[in-house]
Structure 1
Amino acid sequence: MTSFSLEGRAALVTGGSRGIGGAIAELFARHGARVAVCHHGDAAGAEELRGRLAPDGLACPATECDVADEASVAAMAAWARQELGQVDILVNCAGIGGDKAFADLSVADWDRMIGVHLRGTFLVTHAFFPDMVQRGYGRVINIASQLAYKGAPGLVHYCAAKAGIVGFTRALSYEGAPHGVTVNAIAPGPVETDLLRGLSPAWREMKQAQLPIGRFGQVDEIAPTALMLASSAGSYYVGQTLSPNGGDVMV
């Protein structure tokens, strides 16, 4: 019998202090996992998350990490092992946004976007994946975007990074699955987060008008997909990218 319980499992969520990552961290904790999160400059958000969980006797330690920086990731990984003992479930959710026409993109803009999303997914996964393979169990869940498939004006760097995450997920799943480690991704549609709110009003208006559902999603509508993939209910998903997107990409 399959179950959505995460009892006995330890989970790490990058970008887990708020937004989609925060919703996933909270849902995991409420389903029995021991959860830790990392963030980049959002100690207040991490404290708010701890405050929501504390009344129910649930803990969620947090630390600072720039996932694009190798030394920062190494320090975070050592901290996570100290807090959790081991990481059974890894959610790569750290991300940044910002729309800019391709002609105006600087090399620094491109490098930072690719660095946080794609390089960060590589660095953090690389820190924990070998241990999962050795133990014969693991769940890696990467947060991509429906824009990896659809594209969008002003977001060439973002779309390229997220498409890279989809390819990374598919390829790594071949190496993990024979050892009990599943690697999957979630490609949300536009969701009410700080990242979306950071885009221009014109872009937001254009995107909302395109959505068949007529509204942006909420973080609580994305987190259950991660719970399914992390639990035994998702044990037959390998190399997949699931896309709760409000109809923005009908595939």
Structure 2
Amino acid sequence: MSMDGRTCVVTGAGRGIGAGIAEHLGSQGANVVVNYRSSGGGADEVVDHIETLGGQAITSQADVTSLDEVEAMREQAHEAFGPIDVLINNAGITKDTRFVNMSREEWDQVMDVNLGGMFNCTKTFYDDIWEASEGRLINISSIVGKQGNFGQANYAAAKAGMFGFTRTIAIELASGGSTANCVAPGFTRTDMLEEVPDNVKDRIVSQIPLGRFAEIEDIAHLVGYIASENSSYITGEVIDVNGGMDL
């Protein structure tokens, strides 16, 4: 499942799932553009790790809600590696509160990053993906987009919106031989999860048939497969990685 010669852009890759995806792709031989907005130190560490493994990577600071900044990231990627083959829309935020207390600003902020950022990046790199041999668009959603979650009406709506977007772009890309898929992780061991009280984590684990949280590697390895040429007959899918929570 070599990624030799393929160039990947991973948004929100300075930490968490995005960092794990970027490092895994780099370990498989891909050229990786490690996007970040504010986690510059983490992005540098991701690049260092990839280079230690013999891969090539660069950091690219861009706020995905700004089309101008995303277009500048494309120019930086092209200058370093040429047109890209794979775009992974991973950047996202949460602004959690019960809907009765949710402000329009909190709603708009989550929509702007999770959906607006996906639009900006896909729009900017669409021609690259279309023209690539075996181009790939991969959107990182969440189980919350399928099941909902208390206090996350904005996040759930945004992550659910990714499903329809992905399936539509899959249809539009198909005649060019490129694919679009969506990965929907369950609860995953990241810094964000560590902030959750232990009693809440225990309750969540009790609802997971496999009896554990996902590790970042569980998500990254699946994304690596979808990004490779081995997945050429998979498109328009929402692929769950949730330990059986959605059974």
**In structure 2, C-alpha distance between the alignment counterparts of 1:195 and 1:75, rounded to whole Å:** 29
Question: 1:36 touches 1:84 (CA, 8 Å); kept in 2?
Answer: no
**In structure 2, C-alpha distance between the alignment counterparts of 1:87 and 1:19, rounded to whole Å:** 23
**In structure 2, C-alpha distance between the alignment counterparts of 1:124 and 1:183, rounded to whole Å:** 14
1:57 aligns with 2:54: yes
Question: 1:99 touches 1:200 (CA, 8 Å); kept in 2?
Answer: no
Q: Which residue in 1 is equivalent to 2:8?
A: 11
**In structure 1, C-alpha distance between the alignment counterparts of 2:193 and 2:245, rounded to whole Å:** 15
1:198 deviates by 4.8
Q: Partner amino acid for 1:77? A: R
1:202 deviates by 6.2
Q: Which residue in 1 is equivalent to 2:241?
A: 244
- Equivalences, count: 247
1:133 deviates by 1.9
Distance 1:55 1:152, change over 3 A: same
Distance 1:184 1:166, change over 3 A: same
The one-character-per-residue Cα deviations of 1:11-59 (angstroms, maximum 9, x if unpaired) are 1100112211111111111111111110110011012212322333323
Question: 1:95 touches 1:117 (CA, 8 Å); kept in 2?
Answer: yes
The one-character-per-residue Cα deviations of 1:50-102 (angstroms, maximum 9, x if unpaired) are 23223333232112111112222122222122122111011111111242111
Distance 1:47 1:131, change over 3 A: closer
- SS of residue paired to 1:86: coil
TM-score normalised to the size of structure 1?
A: 0.92
Q: Partner amino acid for 1:241? A: V
Distance 1:230 1:39, change over 3 A: same
Q: Structure 1: give runs of 5+ residues left out of the alignment.
A: none
**In structure 2, C-alpha distance between the alignment counterparts of 1:191 and 1:131, rounded to whole Å:** 31
Q: List structure 1 segments (4+ residues) > 6 angstroms apart after TM superposition.
A: none
Q: Structure 2: give runs of 5+ residues left out of the alignment.
A: none
- SS of residue paired to 2:116: helix
Q: RMSD between aligned alpha carbons?
A: 1.7
- SS of residue paired to 2:179: strand
**In structure 2, C-alpha distance between the alignment counterparts of 1:203 and 1:65, rounded to whole Å:** 34
Distance 1:206 1:106, change over 3 A: farther
1:86 aligns with 2:83: yes
- SS of residue paired to 2:185: coil
Q: Which residue in 1 is equivalent to 2:26?
A: 29
Q: Which residue in 2 is equivalent to 1:115?
A: 112
1:67-216 aligned at under 5 Å gives the runs 67-135=64-132, 137-198=134-195, 203-216=200-213
